[in-house]
Amino acid sequence: MDNPYVFITRKVPEETIQAIREVADVKMWDHEDKPVPRDILLEEAEQASGLYTMLTDQIDRELLNRAKILKVVGNLAVGYDNIDLDAATEHNVIVTNTPDVLTDTTADLAFALLMAAARRVTEAERYIADGKWVNWSPLLLAGHDIHHKKIGIVGMGRIGETVAKRATGFEMDIQYHNRSRNERAEQELGAKYVSFDELIETSDFVVNLTPLTPETTGMFNGEVFSKMKKNAIFVNAGRGGSVVEDDLVKALEQKELAGAGLDVFEKEPIQKDHPLMKLPNVVCLPHIGSSSIETRMEMCRLTSRNIRNVLLGEKPETPVNWNR
């Protein structure tokens, strides 16, 4: 009997896919920084039992209708808004993701964005690089304190809770908004549950960590930004689609916000001439929330184990739609 076939849509370290090679023939798209073209992805899906995918790969109904023998889609991310989950379930395709293993790393990055935006770190680096530092003055590139300020976390899941844990080290006043109460964060970290409106109106730092859903799409818009404190910092390490970027640009230009730290954007990758890139009070990163060597290697290994388990008829470690 022929082995099942698995297509990997981006180049990943060979040592992380041994679990798949034990049970399947594997083909890897051999371009680390270039997404697989749509037509090739469709062709590969037609003959694959497993797909090892990235957030940039659209696993939609069209693809799933053509993927007659597909059993599993292993997504190398905690999010899976690139996958039509209903269509996958209808086609008996198991979808997996990589939660938990990236929680601490992403929380580190979210807090780094908060600190960099508040203390104008990248702006200060550019100040030196541009040859502008010729003297010292008392308020040179003065930013905003982080300690003892109020942080408002929108999306108190695993990552949100871990960001809150880091905030305790800065003796911050922690409040959050979520679809449901996180009693552990309240009891262990002193986090306070508040309404969305109260959070945006009273927080010194607003940190978005929500997944992208119909309810969260565009939730941070001009009306919301206008209600924030004039000296507030907005941080987005969740999903770019939850922010109306034109409204954010306008709010920053009109000094309705003090600054922003962004790891995700409406359309990725953004270009160097994007309006957000031109604002001195904005820190922009290329979606590297979970990008530490240790975490990305473990994400790759977990994705491989998930695909292997499904191909063997076993339950994957982190299924999304196993019981749907």
Q: How far is CA 85 from the centre of its chain?
A: 18
Active site annotation includes 287: yes
Which stretches of the chain are assigned E, i.e. beta strand? 5-8, 25-28, 50-53, 72-75, 94-96, 150-154, 173-177, 192-193, 205-208, 233-236, 259-262, 282-284
Annotated catalytic residue, options 90, 183, 188, 268: 268
Q: Tell me if the bond preceding 269 is cis, omega within 30° of 0.
A: yes
Handedness of CA 212, 214, 217, 222 (dihedral sign): negative
Per the structure block, which two tokens stand in for 142? 């003065």
Residue 225 CA to residue 120 CA, distance in Å, equals: 20
Annotated catalytic residue, options 91, 119, 144, 287: 287
Residue 173 DSSP SS3: strand
Annotated catalytic residue, options 10, 120, 239, 305: 239
Active site annotation includes 268: yes
Quote the DSSP letter at residue 126: H
Catalytic residues: 239, 268, 287
